[in-house]
Chains A and B, each alone.
Chain A
Amino acid sequence: EAQVTQNPRYLITVTGKKLTVTCSQNMNHEYMSWYRQDPGLGLRQIYYSMNVEVTDKGDVPEGYKVSRKEKRNFPLILESPSPNQTSLYFCASSFGQAYGYTFGSGTRLTVV
């Protein structure tokens, strides 16, 4: 089944403890992207990647890192999480510019 897989689905962590949210797609998509969704603020892009080793900042990149060493994987790294990074995170992938994104099921992160 064609899909984007994120893990974990739920995560509670403490301030400052490094964490990684994994994202993998099996559709051979070039584009991958991370979003966070907060009440009243909609979906905001954190980082995106247009192919292996090609990444760029979205609208809210501060406090996050990404890497794209393989086409299928696009992990999101929080080196030192803070409570303001408590949010619902989505990974997504797509073919070229004229296609829609396929989203993963989401990761609900709570930083205490």
Chain B
Amino acid sequence: GQSLEQPSEVTAVEGAIVQINCTYQTSGFYGLSWYQQHDGGAPTFLSYNALDGLEETGRFSSFLSRSDSYGYLLLQELQMKDSASYFCAVRAKKNQGGKLIFGQGTELSVKP
């Protein structure tokens, strides 16, 4: 089967750096994506790693290592508004990219 594992919750303080890990058991996917979801709201696309390595977008960075079946989302200079759930996701190749599999999500709490 295909599955993605994330920690269920992470707590950090304002201004700090936090890393949310995602390990997966799936083969043949197009890349690793990250989404942010505030309580009751729609998921918002944050980043996409097609290749191994680090992708940086402002305060957020995402990393992928296919050989280690592992990726992470790095949030720097944390702000209170970053309190949300974060999901990693992959698009399966065998379904021509139509099938998107999500991890269970990590709830990030940012404290003052």
Contact = CB atoms under 8 A, between A and B. Distances in A.
B91 A97 contact: yes
B67 interface: no
Contact of A50 (B40, B43, B97, B103): B97
Nearest to B30: A97
Contacts, number: 66
Contacts of A105: 41-42
Contact of B100 (A41, A45, A102): A45
Interface residues of B, number: 28
Given A103-B42, A105-B42, A45 B30 contact: no
Interface in A30-70: 31, 33, 41-45, 48-50, 56, 58-59
Contacts of B97: 31, 50, 96-97
Interface of B: 30-31, 33, 35, 40-48, 50, 87, 91, 93, 95-105
25 contacts: A31-B97, A31-B98, A33-B100, A42-B87, A43-B43, A48-B95, A50-B96, A50-B97, A50-B98, A56-B99, A90-B42, A90-B43, A97-B93, A97-B97, A98-B48, A98-B50, A100-B35, A100-B46, A100-B47, A101-B35, A101-B100, A102-B45, A103-B43, A105-B42, A106-B41
